[in-house]
Structure formats: structure tokens, C-alpha cells
Amino acid sequence: MSRLLNYLRRIDPGFAVVLLLSLVAIWPLVARASLPQETDAELHIFRLMELSYLVRSGEFYPRWAPDFYHGYGYPIFNYYAPLTYYIGLVIDLMPKLGPVAGIKFVLILGFLLGALGLYGLVRDNWGRVGGYVAAAVFLYAPYIQYVDPHVRGAVPESFSFGVFPLALWCMDRFWRQQTGWRWVTAVFTVAAVILTHNLMALLFFGLLAAWAAWRVAELWLAEGKTAALHKARGLGGILLLGLGLAAFFWLPVILERNAVTLNTLIGNNDNYDFRTHFLSLRELLAFSSRIDWGATEPVFRFNLGVAQWLLGGVGLVMLLRRRMTQARHLLFFAIAFVALVFMQLPQSKFLWEATPILPFFQFPWRLLGGTVIMLAVLAGAGTAVWLQRTPRFANWMTVATIALPLLLALPLSQPAPWPDFGEVNRLRLTLIELRGRWLGTTSTSDYVPATVDAVPRREAAVVEGFFENQPLDRVNRPTLPEGVIVETENITPLHIRYSINAPERFRLRLFIFDFPGWHVTVDGEPAETELGLPEGFIVVKVPAGEHVVEVRFGSTPARTAAWVGTAVSLFITLLVAWQLRRRAATTFAAPWTRLDQWAVGTVGLVTAVTLFILQPSHILHDNSTDWTVEPAQIDTLVDFGGQIALIGIDRSQEEVRPGDTITVNVYWKAQQLLEINYQSFLHVLKADGSLLTQSDHLNPGDYPTRRWPLDRYVRDEFVLTIPKDALPGSYPVTAGLWVQAEGWRLPVLDASGNQIDDKATLFTLTVVDE
């Protein structure tokens, strides 16, 4: 009984408060069925489906996805961090659940782990109320709450924002007291950071290593070399063994990096070029905009959040004024925060260009997640010390600092409703690939074997198995010589046996991309193979007579060495844990105080009002219907050929100077299901009808018109630069739709259906002298 009581005394009730605090953030995922389509979450759902199919077939750690790329397969699982898929797999394997539920669980778990990790870290260093504030700042930062999980559907990246604070907290716990359990949790969470997301692993492992070095240096200055080196051995061991545990993943990625195409991950003046995605301080400081349920893609901002800036600023001010406890510790987070903000600004372009790995991040705003975590620590620590120094106002300040992130996040708390995701199976996978939305759950041909000179066309004979729910026949039968008989037996999806009877020697051509790990035998002996170009398919030389050819995907020296590294690291981790087993943690939960009661009351009240009053009343979002756009500055209705209507306009200004830039938003809405992909244009015309400047979009709003729904509008943003030699005067701004391949425009119709023009005049732009 005494042991049980001691155990219960160690449980901090503050964790329950953090779970309650998380409820508004996770509510859209908990309360709504399914997940939205056409975000990156769709890709992860199908990857989980493929993993589940392989695991159920006996392939427990597959590195090859055989059903992707029209059934030719490719090694996505050899190169993409696996942890989120295996967590989702646990849910997928449960009765009546599936990959959609598995991916949704990963998103929810990421929210909770990040909030709990930040709470624990800040609580242990600066107090419980500071931990509440840190969790609130994290959960309700726009990028964490809405942009990454809902707009982008970037599931592994979102989950990495949860794992990193947890790993940081676990390392800090071991720093404080070296026990076996704390050692194990620290090592395994560091490994989890590496196994969650390729790019975020580089950032977050680097931050963990920098934090460890900072803490050791801090101790060296305070207590001397001996104490610092003792701690350094512990933290260094955690980092190295965490890296070693994850070696089964990252070592083959490095050693086999030249076996696949990776250069497509780096853009060049396109959407994947980092130069086109820097942010300004104004954007980082901006308020979040309201979500419009009537938009196909609601407007959002890459901002840090006003509450996050204000509360994080408290920590920075307290640090600068030397009012902080553990000031040196907090200084690390301040420096990391400033560095991450700088790396998102255009002024950091020279660093992105000079550092070879940085262009692979593609989007500087991807650093928003790490920036928020640093800001959350600053906010929690600063608030905690502020409350200690102003006890007279502590109750109301607790309410304000916890409620502020929640209240300012309410416009993002109701993402637009999504329809049911639909069936997730191999047939739907191949139909999506047929439509060309993506191939192999990637959109830039990344991770395709480097030996593929040209991605081959789709073969009806191969994909037929998808339609019949049968194993695929990957034998190129039209190339078989006369008289050759090939019978196929699928042992597993990655192990195929061919029984062959051939009157003469021939080449067995398979619709399988060649890649390191494919092992081919003829009658149990290594076979002579060659590469079928330009497709990069496996070709097997088969002698005359009766033979058994086996094609199986297996290991390589790099993968074997990686597994050995993981096994050795696991052994050392458990050995050290055994040696530390007698060291038990002696910490107990801090007493429950009046400030905790105020915190619970604040969180409970805001959560209840939000979920049961504000959200059901639909006052937190816009809901444009019919031919009205609620966020538009100007309402209009222009009929383009009875197919598309122009229903609204925004413009950043009506008066400009030569060299200025103007932004114009045009709102379109389909009047019927469209069979043509139209292009859009925005022209600024001179008095004689010639062009002053223009902007054209291949897909209006980056959304092909053939996919436009009938119940939502499309926002088409144009950015125009006025020529420096533009003369003062008035210039009409016009917009329209056309078919670029054929050179014709959709006509503008009047109420009687008669053509009156082939463009719509939106407004008049005035150019004034400089």
C-alpha cells in the first residue's frame, strides 16, 4: 500500500489540466469522422494502407512498396521515416478500424505529446503554471493547431512537433536525476525524433545536441570541469545511443542515397524552391484570419500567433532585465528562437544557398514549428517568474496568460467540414495514379530508382490485379518467346516464384523496377540479370528447360550493418539501464495551489463555452454560400460562358507608383461541373487596349478547374508589378478565363445569355508620379 501511495503522490494532476487544455485543439479530429482528401494526409493514409498490406502478408519491415507506381513498386519505405506509420499501424490492425483512423490517431497523439512534453519541461524548471502557459502557447500556435495538420496534412512533421519537446523533457529529467527509467525514456525519445520525419530530425536532433552542450558548458562555469564531464557523458550517451537505435533507418538512407532520384526534392523557381517561401516579420506578427467554410481552400497565414509573441516576449523581457531564475538555461531557448526566426526571413538567403542540406527543407516557413516550441518555453518561463514577482495579481494573470492563446486561436478551431474520405484500398490507389494527381504517394518523382531513365507508361495487364483484387502479374508476357510457359506464385508481396518451361534460352522481362535488395535466383543459384532500359526494369536470363526463378526483396550490406548498429545500441541502452536500476526517482508532485484551481477553471470555462456555445452557433467562421464571398472587399457577379462566375474581388490598393507591387484576389465559382481545365489572366490595360502589365495562372487558385466543386468558391491571387516606366494615368484592370492550348477565351454573358465581352473589368488602377 505504501508503494502505491508513493506512486500516486508522484503523479502530477497538472497533466490532467494539460489534457483538458488540449481538447479544443484536437476536437475537430475527435468529433468528426474521417479526414479530408487532397492534403498530404491522403498520401500518408495510402502509405499506411500499403504497410498494413505488407505486414499482414508477413513482411514486417518492408523497404519496398510493390503496389505504387502502377504496380512497378519503389523504395519509399527505405527512405521515409517510419515511426508514424507503425504507430498508425497499431490502430489500423484493430477490428473495424483502418488507415484513416490510424493517421488520425497519430495527429491527435502528436498534439498531446507536445503539450505534455512542454508542460513537463517548463514545470520542472520554472513551475507548474508556467508549464500550463507553455502548453497553451504550443497547442494554439496557428502552424501547430491548424496549418500543418489540417491545411497541409503533414502528418509526420506534425508528429515531430510532439516528439521533440518530449525528448527534450526526458533528457532534462535525466540531467536532474540519473535513474534507469529516465535513461531509457531519454534514449528512446531521441531515437523517436530521428524516426519521425527526415528533415525535422536534422533540425531537432541538432537542437537536442546544442541544448546538451549548452547545459554542460553552463555547469562547467558554475561547478567546474569534473561535474560537467560527468553530466556530459550521460547526455552524450543518450544522443549517441538514440542515434544508434535509429540506425536501421538513417544509415541505409545515407549509404544508398545515390540509388534513387533526390534532386527533384530541390526546386528551381517553382513551388519547391526555398527562395519563393521566405516570410516577412509582418507575416510572422500577423493575426490569424477567419476560416471561410465556403472556400475550396480557406485563406490562412504563416504566422507565429499574436498571443505567442506577447507571452514569449514576457520571457525575453524578463531575461533582458535579468529578472529570470535559471537565466542561462532560458538564454539557450532565446538564442534558438532568434536564430530560427532569422532563418525564415529573406535576409538568411545567403545561408540557405551556402548550406547544401538546407534547400532540401524547401520551405523556410517549415521552421515555424521549432520556433513555436522555443517561444513556448520562453512564454512559460517568463510568465512563471512574472507571477512570482507580482503575487498580488497572480490569480488574474494566470487566467489571462492561459486564456489568451486559447481565445486568439478560436478562429482556427473550426476547420471547414470534410466529406468522408472513402474507401482505402489498392484499387483506389491505382485509380488516383491513373488520374495523375500523384505517383507512388509523391508528386516530384522523388525516391524513384536512379536506374529509371524514363517512368514507363501504365500497363493494363499489370494493374488488372487491382481491379480483380488479386496479386499483380508482373511478367512482360508479350515479350515471351513462342512456346515459353511462365506460371506465377506469389509467396508474399515481396517474394515471387516463377515456374518456367522454355524450349530455348530467353530473357524474362519483369515489370519491377530494379533496385539494391532485389535478389534473383534460378533453381536456387544466383541468376544472371541485366537492366531493362530506359524503364529500369529487372531482366533475368533464363536457360532452356524447366526452371524455378525466385525474385525476392531482401537486405543489402548497408541494411545489415544498420540493423547490427541498432541491436548493439539497444543492448548497451538496456545494460546501462540495468546498472542504474537501483537509483529510484525521489521527486513528488508539487502541492495543488490556488493558482492551479484558477488554471483549471479558466481552461474548463473557455473549453466549455467554445465547444458547446460558440462552435454550434457557427460564429467563429465565415460561411459563404451561393454567389456571395463574405471576406471579399467587392461583391460582383460576372457570368463567363454559363460555366464559371466571377463573384468577388479584393485589391491591396487602387493608387500605385511606378515599380510598386499590387495584389488582386479574384473569386471564382463553378456554375456546372467542368470538363476543361481553364487558365486565368489579370491584365492592366493602357488606353489603347495594349498591356501595361499582366499575370497568368495555369490553374486558377492552383486548383485545376475540372476538379472544382459546385458548392465552394476558388480564390485566385494575382501579384502584379507596375513597370518603372509607367506613365501617370488611369488603367482598367481586367480578368478572364481562357484555354491556353487552343487560344480562346470564355465569353462574358449578359442576363439574356448574349456575349458582351471576353473579359471583365474589375476596377480602375491609378498610377501617380513618384
Q: Per-residue pLDDT tens for 411-459?
A: 999 999 999 999 999 999 999 999 888 888 887 778 999 999 988 999 9
> What's the average model confidence in pLDDT over 392-402?
90
CB neighbour list of residue 305: distance below 8 Å, 6 or more residues apart: 137, 140, 141, 142, 288, 372, 405, 408, 409
How confident is the model at residue 46, as a pLDDT?
96
Reported as a pLDDT band with limits 50, 70 and 90, residue 95 is: very high
Q: What is the mean pLDDT of the chain?
A: 93
Q: Cell triple for residue 632?
A: 471579399
Separation CA 676–CA 522 (nearest Å): 51
Reported as a pLDDT band with limits 50, 70 and 90, residue 6 is: low
How confident is the model at residue 390, as a pLDDT?
86
Quote helix, strand, coil % in the chain, to nearest 5. Answer: 50, 20, 35
> What phi and psi values does residue 489 have, to the nearest 5 degrees?
-130, 120
Separation CA 639–CA 748 (nearest Å): 6
Separation CA 564–CA 717 (nearest Å): 53
Using CB atoms within 10 Å of the CB of residue 677, give its burial: 0 to 12 exposed, 13 to 18 middle, 19+ buried: middle
Reported as a pLDDT band with limits 50, 70 and 90, residue 222 is: confident
Q: Cell triple for residue 171?
A: 533528457
Closest CA to 643 of 747, 519, 523: 747
CA distances for 226 relative to 174, 217, 220, 222, 231, angstroms: 18, 12, 8, 11, 9
> What phi and psi values does residue 640 have, to the nearest 5 degrees?
-100, 95
State the Cα torsion 406-412-418-423 to the nearest 10°: -60
- 151-155, 268-272, 285-289, 739-743: the lowest-pLDDT one: 268-272
The CA radius of gyration of the chain, in Å to the nearest whole number, is 29
> What's the average model confidence in pLDDT over 754-762?
93
681: three-class secondary structure by DSSP:
strand
Side chain identity, residue 324: M
Separation CA 501–CA 510 (nearest Å): 16
> What phi and psi values does residue 550 have, to the nearest 5 degrees?
-115, 135
CA 495 to chain centroid, in Å, comes to 33
Q: Using one digit for the tens of pLDDT, what is the confidence trace for 329-377?
A: 999 999 999 999 999 999 999 999 999 999 989 999 999 999 999 999 9
Question: What percentage of the chain carries pLDDT values higher than 70?
Answer: 98
Strands 760-767 and 655-656, by their bridges, are: parallel
Which one has a higher pLDDT value, 508 or 393? 508
Helix (H) or strand (E) holding 644: strand 644-651
Q: In which residue are the cell numbers 497523439 written?
A: 109
Q: Cell triple for residue 407?
A: 481565445
Predicted TM-score of the model (pTM) = 0.93
CA distances for 156 relative to 162, 204, 589, angstroms: 10, 13, 33
Evaluate the omega torsion of the peptide bond into residue 534 and state whether it is cis, within 30 degrees of 0: yes
Q: Cell triple for residue 282?
A: 509582418
Separation CA 196–CA 200 (nearest Å): 8
Q: Is-contact 290 356, C-beta < 8 A?
A: no
Q: How many CB atoms lie within 10 A of CB 335?
A: 13
Q: Cell triple for residue 7?
A: 506512486
Question: What percentage of the chain carries pLDDT values higher than 90?
Answer: 83
Closest CA to 448 of 626, 206, 690, 262: 262
Q: In which residue are the cell numbers 507565429 written?
A: 304
Q: Cell triple for residue 142?
A: 496557428
Reported as a pLDDT band with limits 50, 70 and 90, residue 322 is: confident
Separation CA 13–CA 128 (nearest Å): 10
Helix (H) or strand (E) holding 231: helix 225-245
Q: Cell triple for residue 465?
A: 490485379
How confident is the model at residue 723, as a pLDDT?
93
How confident is the model at residue 5, as a pLDDT?
57
Q: In which residue are the cell numbers 499483380 written?
A: 472
How confident is the model at residue 160, as a pLDDT?
97
Separation CA 508–CA 213 (nearest Å): 57
DSSP 302-351: ----HHHHHHHHHHHHHHHTT--TTHHHHHHHHHHHHHHHHTTSGGGHHH
Q: Is-contact 375 316, C-beta < 8 A?
A: no
Q: Is-contact 35 104, C-beta < 8 A?
A: yes
Q: In the predicted model, is pLDDT for residue 3 greater than 70?
A: no
Q: In the predicted model, is pLDDT for residue 1 greater than 60?
A: no
Separation CA 447–CA 701 (nearest Å): 29
Separation CA 398–CA 593 (nearest Å): 12
Using CB atoms within 10 Å of the CB of residue 552, give its burial: 0 to 12 exposed, 13 to 18 middle, 19+ buried: middle
Separation CA 403–CA 416 (nearest Å): 24
Reported as a pLDDT band with limits 50, 70 and 90, residue 596 is: confident
Which one has a higher pLDDT value, 117 or 37? 117
> What's the average model confidence in pLDDT over 218-226?
89
Q: What's the CA angle centered on 415, arms 413 and 418, to 5 degrees?
A: 145
Q: In which residue are the cell numbers 513482411 written?
A: 59
Separation CA 381–CA 125 (nearest Å): 8
Q: In the predicted model, is pLDDT for residue 760 greater than 70?
A: yes
Q: Using one digit for the tens of pLDDT, what is the confidence trace for 261-313?
A: 887 777 777 778 889 999 999 999 999 989 999 999 888 999 999 999 999 99
- 367 CB-side CA count, 13 A: 29
> What's the average model confidence in pLDDT over 64-85?
95
Helix (H) or strand (E) holding 30: helix 23-31
Q: Where are the alpha helices (DSSP H) in 365-477?
A: 368-389, 394-408, 426-435, 460-468
Q: Is-contact 744 635, C-beta < 8 A?
A: no
Side chain identity, residue 688: D
Q: Cell triple for residue 330?
A: 532560458
Side chain identity, residue 63: R
End-to-end CA distance of the chain, in Å?
83
How confident is the model at residue 138, as a pLDDT?
98
Q: Is-contact 365 353, C-beta < 8 A?
A: no
Closest CA to 532 of 614, 475, 606: 475
DSSP state of 527: P
DSSP state of 353: H
Reported as a pLDDT band with limits 50, 70 and 90, residue 389 is: confident
Q: What's the CA angle centered on 547, arms 546 and 551, to 5 degrees?
A: 155
How confident is the model at residue 388, as a pLDDT?
87
How confident is the model at residue 324, as a pLDDT?
85
Q: Cell triple for residue 45?
A: 493514409
